[in-house]
């Protein structure tokens, strides 16, 4: 397989990639991981690599920590970390905790051959990313690993067939080298591996199983599969929202983080009336690995590696409940949970997965405001550096139709001074906040005590409309009081509140050729924009585009919440027809302002009224 052959197959000497500098040593001190919850206790005399550990619940949580750390770097790290591809993820000690000896633990295997890492990078896609991560982790920690072989039940494309049938396995204990195992495991895996049914032929050989919907078992390292695509669960927020790691099938082979419930769809319900076929097609949804187990003799020497059975996997969260609850939702238009009717599967997941007892909209608004002011101050430094660079050394070239990077990922002068990538992170956080607030208002109708409304400075919150109005008032107050300053092209300071930045969210230019006024979205014709000089954007191959036209054609990129791996265009870029998300005010007004307050609103609000009513109705209450 020529595409697997690496440029450099020389092994990396032990420790060579562990620390790049003294700061790394401080950050990844072995003292941070002084106690290994799953110390080595096994020994193997054959296999692709030495096996020193079993997969245990503690080990799956160690794996979860490793995955979550990568997500934190991909979603909130430096620019280089956010655009890092598989090769860098696995060789950068800032991103890969397994390059810290304390986290890797005693009895671990040396860093994987750089040739194997490069080869995985060149073929990675969404399914192969799951294999690359899990197999690399198993190798480094000295764990047994097994990947299935499957075929389509109808003889067609295994990725789109009605189901897949497991026919065999790629077992680390049966291979004589890590290189051969990684080659076969990665290249032989596709999304068809996730289409093995619960009760079909060969289900005990499936790579994954449906997992219980709880914070105990649905942890980083689990996956969500929908037809033809799989994402790695990397975080569950305190309010129960999932976050994912993913990989593109584009030639760029990008690995990226994405958020929200948009990936959670396409579930197949259980069919209670189909005797013997109740779970036919039930392979979409949240999945957990079928963790393998090493069988050993009395001396701890491994004699065999096998998959765990369905029954053994129950201790790791195996459960078909998600398909049962989807059936309930379809049949009754609701899911009953703790006597609370829930009319949305996403809301059901939030209820199951959240860790915060109460939602606090005011606290969320204040935290967001503090973080965003700090982000705006950091952005202003880049804006000024870019403006200085353009004035001193000429315009910066737009990365048009380039396989070396787009407006989000390009290097060179563009990568150093443009803010497209950072701006998507700003918008993503804003809409995460909007989702949480929207969710809080939805919960208020079901149980008012679920929402902490005391800090909203409004008495008598009775309905969701009252709460939405109170939240918007609080947002105006908090965002209006959060401010920073930028220097315009004339050198004067201009004060902007977060409220003004929110209004300009889709107007903030990321183009380093543009002056500070346009970078901060100064409205055309305003007094603020009068000092704004015109600067053209350099085009590849020669020529330039006038500032006003380039700004108009860059509008799509100013509306994105997440960076994209596709090539960027300017000359032929469309300027309309793309979706733009509603901001918080518009979203809440459209959904919740329905005049639902009663004529007389109790001064203490709905939550206090409900509590008082419950006390009156309780046994033993005074007549």
3-state secondary structure string, 503-560? Answer: HCCCCCCCCCCCCHHHHCCCCCCCHHHHHCCCCCEECCCCCEECHHHHHHHCCCHHHC
Q: Which two tokens stand for residue 438?
A: 């929207």
Residue 278: which of 270, 267, 287 has the closest Cα? 270
Task: Clarify whether residues 375 and 312 are in a common domain.
Answer: no
Q: Which two tokens stand for residue 72?
A: 């934190």
Task: Clarify whether residues 336 and 417 are in a common domain.
Answer: no
Task: Clarify whether residues 277 and 380 are in a common domain.
Answer: no
Residue 87: which of 258, 232, 247 has the closest Cα? 247
Task: Clarify whether residues 34 and 144 are in a common domain.
Answer: yes
Task: Clarify whether residues 395 and 325 are in a common domain.
Answer: no
pTM for this entry: 0.82
Is residue 249 scored above 90 in pLDDT? no
- Domains identified in the chain, total number: 2
Cα gap 596→592, rounded to integer Å: 9
Phi, then psi, of 285 in degrees rounded to 5: 120, -165
Task: Clarify whether residues 365 and 307 are in a common domain.
Answer: no
**What is the tens place of the pLDDT at every residue in 335-349?**
998 877 888 899 899
Task: Clarify whether residues 410 and 519 are in a common domain.
Answer: yes
What does the mean pLDDT of the chain come to?
A: 87
Is residue 359 scored above 70 in pLDDT? yes
* Residue 55 resides in a domain: yes
Task: Clarify whether residues 389 and 478 are in a common domain.
Answer: yes
pLDDT of residue 30: 40
Task: Clarify whether residues 398 and 439 are in a common domain.
Answer: yes
Q: Taking each helix axis from N to C terminus, what angle separates 464-481 and 584-592, rounded to the nearest 10 degrees?
A: 170
What band does 458 get if pLDDT is binned at 50, 70 and 90? Answer: low
Determine contact, residues 433/474, Cβ cutoff 8 Å.
no
Determine contact, residues 426/420, Cβ cutoff 8 Å.
no
Give the residue numbers spanning the domain of 148.
2-353
Residue 487: which of 417, 560, 383, 588 has the closest Cα? 383
What band does 12 get if pLDDT is binned at 50, 70 and 90? Answer: very low
Q: What is the DSSP string of 297-326?
A: -TT-BEEEEEEPPHHHHGGGTB--HHHHHH
pLDDT of residue 595: 54
Q: What is the DSSP string of 211-226?
A: B-SSTTTS-BTBEEEE
pLDDT of residue 215: 94
pLDDT of residue 594: 66
* Residue 272 resides in a domain: yes
Phi, then psi, of 486 in degrees rounded to 5: -125, 160
Is residue 223 scored above 50 in pLDDT? yes
* Residue 576 resides in a domain: no
What band does 27 get if pLDDT is binned at 50, 70 and 90? Answer: very low
Question: Of 173-177, 201-205, 598-602, which one has max mean pLDDT?
Answer: 173-177
Cα gap 212→75, rounded to integer Å: 26
Task: Indicate the residue among 301, 330, 353 that finishes a domain.
Answer: 353
Cα gap 122→257, rounded to integer Å: 19
Task: Clarify whether residues 130 and 10 are in a common domain.
Answer: yes
State mean pLDDT over 496-500.
97
CA 408 to chain CA centroid, Å, is 17
The dihedral over CA atoms of 512, 518, 521, 525, expressed in degrees to the nearest 10, equals -170
pLDDT of residue 181: 97
CB < 8 Å & 24+ apart, contacts of 336-345? 340/446, 340/447, 341/446, 342/446, 345/264, 345/267
pLDDT of residue 441: 85
Q: What is the DSSP string of 147-202?
A: EEEEEETTSS-TTTSS-EEEEEEEEGGG-S-HHHHHHHHHHT--GGGG-B-SSSSS
State mean pLDDT over 213-222.
96
Task: Indicate the residue among 353, 388, 409 that finishes a domain.
Answer: 353
**What is the tens place of the pLDDT at every residue in 79-117?**
899 999 999 999 999 999 999 999 999 999 999 999 999
Among 30-34, 181-185, 214-218, 277-281, name the one with the lowest average pLDDT.
30-34
Cα gap 322→311, rounded to integer Å: 18
* Greater pLDDT, 575 or 3: 575
Determine contact, residues 310/319, Cβ cutoff 8 Å.
no
Task: Indicate the residue among 501, 534, 559 that finishes a domain.
Answer: 559
CA 88 to chain CA centroid, Å, is 18
* Residue 195 resides in a domain: yes
**What is the tens place of the pLDDT at every residue in 46-74?**
999 999 999 999 999 999 999 999 999 99
* Residue 139 resides in a domain: yes
Task: Clarify whether residues 197 and 236 are in a common domain.
Answer: yes
* Greater pLDDT, 201 or 380: 380
* Residue 597 resides in a domain: no
* Greater pLDDT, 262 or 67: 67
State mean pLDDT over 220-226.
96
State mean pLDDT over 232-257.
89
């Amino acid at each position: 397989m020529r595409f697997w052959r690496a440029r450099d197959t020389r092994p990396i000497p032990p420790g060579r990639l562990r620390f790049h500098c003294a700061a790394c040593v401080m950050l990844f001190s072995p003292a941070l991981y002084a106690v290994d919850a799953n110390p080595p206790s096994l020994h193997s005399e054959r296999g692709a690599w030495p096996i020193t550990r079993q997969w245990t619940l503690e080990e799956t949580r160690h794996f979860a920590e490793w995955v979550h750390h990568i997500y934190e770097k991909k979603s909130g790290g430096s620019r280089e970390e956010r655009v890092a591809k598989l090769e860098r993820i696995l060789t950068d000690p800032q991103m890969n905790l397994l390059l810290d000896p304390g986290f890797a633990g005693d009895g671990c295997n040396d860093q994987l051959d750089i040739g194997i890492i490069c080869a995985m990078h060149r073929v990675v896609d969404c399914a192969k990313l799951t294999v690359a991560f899990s197999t690399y982790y198993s190798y480094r920690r000295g764990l047994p690993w097994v990947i299935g072989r499957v075929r389509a039940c109808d003889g067609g494309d295994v990725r789109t067939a009605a189901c897949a049938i497991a026919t065999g396995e790629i077992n680390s204990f049966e291979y004589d080298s890590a290189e051969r195992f990684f080659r076969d495991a990665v290249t032989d895996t596709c999304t068809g591996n996730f289409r093995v049914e619960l009760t079909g032929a060969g289900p005990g050989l499936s790579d994954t199983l449906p997992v219980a919907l709880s914070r105990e078992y649905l942890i980083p390292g689990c996956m969500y599969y929908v037809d033809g695509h799989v994402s790695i669960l990397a975080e569950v927020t305190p309010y129960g929202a999932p976050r994912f790691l993913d990989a593109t099938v584009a030639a760029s082979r990008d690995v990226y983080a994405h958020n929200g419930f948009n990936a959670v769809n396409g579930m197949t319900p259980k069919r209670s009336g189909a005797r013997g076929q109740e779970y036919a097609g039930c392979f979409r949804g949240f999945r957990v690995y079928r963790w393998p187990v090493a069988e050993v003799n009395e001396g701890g020497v491994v004699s065999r590696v096998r998959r765990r059975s369905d029954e053994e996997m129950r201790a790791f969260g195996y459960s078909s409940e998600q398909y049962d609850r989807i059936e309930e939702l379809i049949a009754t238009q609701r899911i009953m949970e703790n006597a609370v009717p829930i009319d949305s599967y996403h809301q059901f997941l939030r209820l199951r997965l959240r860790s915060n007892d109460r939602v606090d909209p005011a606290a969320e608004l204040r935290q967001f405001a503090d973080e965003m002011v700090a982000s705006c101050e950091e952005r202003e430094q880049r804006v000024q550096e870019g403006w200085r660079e353009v004035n001193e050394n000429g315009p910066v070239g737009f990365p048009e139709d380039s396989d070396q990077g787009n407006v989000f990922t390009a290097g060179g002068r563009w990568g150093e001074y443009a803010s497209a990538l950072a701006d998507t992170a700003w918008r993503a956080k804003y809409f995460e906040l909007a989702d949480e607030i929207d969710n809080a208002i939805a919960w208020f109708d079901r149980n008012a005590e679920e929402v902490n409304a005391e800090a909203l400075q409004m008495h008598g919150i009775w309905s969701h409309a009252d709460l939405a109005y109170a939240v918007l008032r609080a947002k105006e107050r908090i965002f209006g009081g959060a401010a920073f300053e930028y220097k315009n092209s004339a050198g004067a300071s201009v004060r902007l509140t977060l409220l003004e930045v929110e209004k300009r969210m889709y107007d903030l230019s990321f183009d380093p050729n543009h002056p500070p006024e346009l970078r901060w979205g100064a409205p055309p014709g305003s007094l603020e924009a009068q000092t704004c000089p015109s600067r053209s954007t350099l085009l590849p191959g020669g020529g330039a585009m006038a500032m006003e036209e380039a700004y108009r054609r860059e509008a799509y990129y100013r509306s994105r919440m997440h960076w994209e791996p596709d090539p960027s265009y300017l000359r032929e870029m469309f300027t309309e027809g793309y979706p733009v998300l509603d901001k918080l005010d518009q979203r809440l007004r459209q959904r919740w302002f329905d005049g639902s307050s009663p004529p007389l609103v109790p001064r203490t609000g709905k939550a206090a009224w409900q509590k008082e009513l419950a006390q009156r109705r309780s046994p033993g209450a005074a007549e």
